[in-house]
Amino acid sequence: MTEAMMESAGGRRGGACACAADRFAVVRRVALAVSLAGVLLVAHSASPTETPYAYISSLSTNRLFVVDVGARVLVASVPVGLSPRGVAVHPRGTCVYVANDRSGTLSVIDTARNAVLASVPVGAGPDGVAVHPAGRFVYVTNRDSATVSVIDAETNESISTVAVGERPRGIAVSASGDRVYVANSTGHSVSVIDAWRHRTVATIPVGPPMHPARTLHGVAVHPDGNPVYVAAAGAYATGALLVIDATTRQVVTVGLPAPARGVAVDPDGSAVYVTSVAEVSFPGPAVVPSGVSFVSSATNRVRTFVPLSASSWGVPTGIAVHRAGRLLYVTNEDNYSLYLVSLATSAVIRTVPLPSPSSGYGPFIDPRVPTPRSQPPDGLEGRPGSGARPSDGPC
């Protein structure tokens, strides 16, 4: 396959997104748990057994790689903005959103053509991306301006800017569509945003840092809406999964073998999967290899650890889980591969070669959680300044 065949031409700037949901349509049973940039999996129909595509941002080449996971081949390489990080997908699977760190923009990709449909200005240092489960809004964390941009998925325009904590990165939306959770990387807190009023309604402290260098990264939400999971990294090989009760705001810390980056929740809610980077003793192999921790959501204990890279500085970040084939998909900033990890055997079963190292953190799409709200609660629709539309408006 030639480069010309794989590369998709850049699209027009601005314009309405053809992938926005039909008027208040009941979306497929979808869960979006985004953390930061990386890999995103989406099946292009409601069938839970259909093979998904992987959308992987490449920080070094300013491209979005599109991988047919079933065939295990790269099918497109889409030019986007500078230093792409966060990736998220519209619930219908017809648009993909990419946060471009150095460009300060959000690229909107038409998945039917694998081409850029729009480029939306956001804040400084856009990092993580999440899409409302009803497909109405797109949320972007702006790391360098301590805000979250809210994008109208119908018009591809920014409609609100929400102040959050220091250096926000990971972001996820509850399955009900009522709450958005933001990991404030160096602020040692999680901001809670009202998804309909577009304002911060709570800030959850995560306790004293393990070390001043501690940072928060990926975020995921249990399919039931509670708890919220945050991947944390600290100095001196410390890492943790923070389990946050969204109601009581109590935090349980699950120790991990190395600094954590990405996080995903099994569609049935039984397990949480967390990537961690390798710790290396120079010269020599990794003291703690990079890998994925399988954490029981019932006991908050690590059940098993799957190593990915034992001899190099592995930096697995993006992670996603999909019902088809019961596989985990993991990106790695340190090499040119997408890992496929079997949930049945807890082992890497194959890799998919990529043109360049894949960066960042990845959300996932889960077709089994309850249908989210397609209307705001409490008669909020159409209220001035809310960002919501009247009941007879487009989705």
CATH number at residue 160: 2.130.10.10
Residue 389 has pLDDT above 50, yes or no: no
User: Range with the lowest mean pLDDT among 156-165, 189-198, 347-356?
Assistant: 347-356
Contact between residue 331 and residue 362 where contact means Cβ atoms under 8 Å apart = yes
Provide mean pLDDT across the span 317-328. Answer: 78
Q: Answer yes or no: is 320 within a domain.
A: yes
Tokens matching residue 124: 């400084």
Provide mean pLDDT across the span 358-376. Answer: 47
Q: Answer yes or no: is 389 within a domain.
A: no
Tell me the C-alpha distance between 231 and 229, whole Å.
7
Q: Answer yes or no: is 374 within a domain.
A: no
pLDDT tens track for 33-75: 333 444 555 444 334 435 578 899 998 899 999 888 878 889 8
Q: Answer yes or no: is 98 within a domain.
A: yes
Which long-range contacts (C-beta less than 8 Å, at least 24 apart) are formed by 184-188?
184/146, 184/216, 185/143, 185/215, 185/216, 185/217, 186/215, 186/216, 187/216, 188/214, 188/216
3-state secondary structure of 234: coil
Q: What is the pLDDT of residue 345?
A: 93
Residue 383 has pLDDT above 50, yes or no: no
Q: What is the pLDDT of residue 275?
A: 92
Q: Answer yes or no: is 96 within a domain.
A: yes
Residue 173 has pLDDT above 90, yes or no: yes
Q: Answer yes or no: is 302 within a domain.
A: yes
pLDDT tens track for 178-204: 999 999 998 889 999 999 999 999 999
Q: Which segment, 206-220, 247-261, 308-322, 357-371, is predicted with the most confidence on average? A: 247-261
The band of 356, judged by pLDDT with boundaries at 50, 70 and 90, is confident
Q: Are strands 302-309 and 290-296 parallel, antiparallel or unpaired?
A: antiparallel
Q: Answer yes or no: is 380 within a domain.
A: no
Q: What is the pLDDT of residue 327?
A: 85
Q: Which segment, 58-62, 226-230, 336-340, is predicted with the most confidence on average? A: 226-230
Contact between residue 211 and residue 235 where contact means Cβ atoms under 8 Å apart = yes
Range of the domain at 217: 3-366
- 3 phi/psi in degrees, rounded to 5: -60, -35
Q: What is the pLDDT of residue 118?
A: 97
Q: Answer yes or no: is 34 within a domain.
A: yes
Domains of the chain: total: 1
